[in-house]
Amino acid sequence: MVNVISSKKNVEITAEKPLKVLFVTSQWPTPENPSKAPFVERGVRALRAAGVDMDVLPYDGGWSPGKYRQAVSELHRRLRQNDYDLIHAYFGQCGMVARAQFKLPVVISYGGSDVEGSPAFKGKQRYKHYVLMMISRILSLLATQVIVVSENLGKKLPRKGYHIVSSALDLDLFQPIDKREARERLGLPQDRKLALFASIDPANPRKRHNLAVEVCRIASQTHPVELVVAGKRPPAEVPIYMSACDVLLLTSTNEGSPNVVKEALACNLPVVATAVGDVRQRIGHLDSCAVVDSDQPQDLAAALMRVLEHKSARALRDEVLDLGFQKYAERVIAVYRLAVGQKGAANGS
* Radius of gyration of the chain from its Cα atoms, rounded to whole angstroms: 21
Distances (CA, A) of 329 to 111, 324, 326: 17, 9, 5
Query: Going from the N-terminus, what domains does the chain have, and what CATH number goes with each?
Result: 2-168+324-346 (3.40.50.2000), 179-321 (3.40.50.2000)
Give the integer Cα–Cα distance in Å for 98 and 104: 9
Residue 13: predicted pLDDT: 42
Percent of the chain with pLDDT over 70: 91
How do residues 60-81 score in pLDDT, each as one tens digit? 988 889 999 999 999 999 999 9
Which one, of 135, 116, 139, 118, lies nearest residue 63 by Cα? 135
Q: What are phi and psi of 57, to 5 degrees?
A: -115, 90
Residue 346: predicted pLDDT: 53
The total number of residues shown for the chain amounts to 349
From its phi and psi, is residue 201 left (phi > 0), alpha (psi between -120 and 50) or beta?
beta
Distances (CA, A) of 121 to 114, 187, 293: 13, 35, 20
- What single string gives the DSSP state of each residue in 186-252? HT--SSSEEEEE--S-TT-TTT-HHHHHHHHHHHTTTS-EEEEE--S--GGGHHHHHHH-SEEEE--
Residue 132: predicted pLDDT: 86
Mapped onto helix, strand or coil, the DSSP state of residue 349 is coil
Given strand 162-164, what is the order of strands in its sheet? 2-3, 162-164, 145-148, 106-110, 86-90, 20-25, 53-58
Residue 94: predicted pLDDT: 96
Give the integer Cα–Cα distance in Å for 75 and 55: 11
Which one, of 172, 174, 192, lies nearest residue 183 by Cα? 192
pTM: 0.88
Distances (CA, A) of 31 to 231, 234, 241, 300: 17, 11, 22, 37
Which residue type does 320 have? V
Q: Which residues of the chain have pLDDT under 50?
A: 1, 4-14, 348-349
First-to-last alpha carbon distance for the chain, in angstroms, is 25
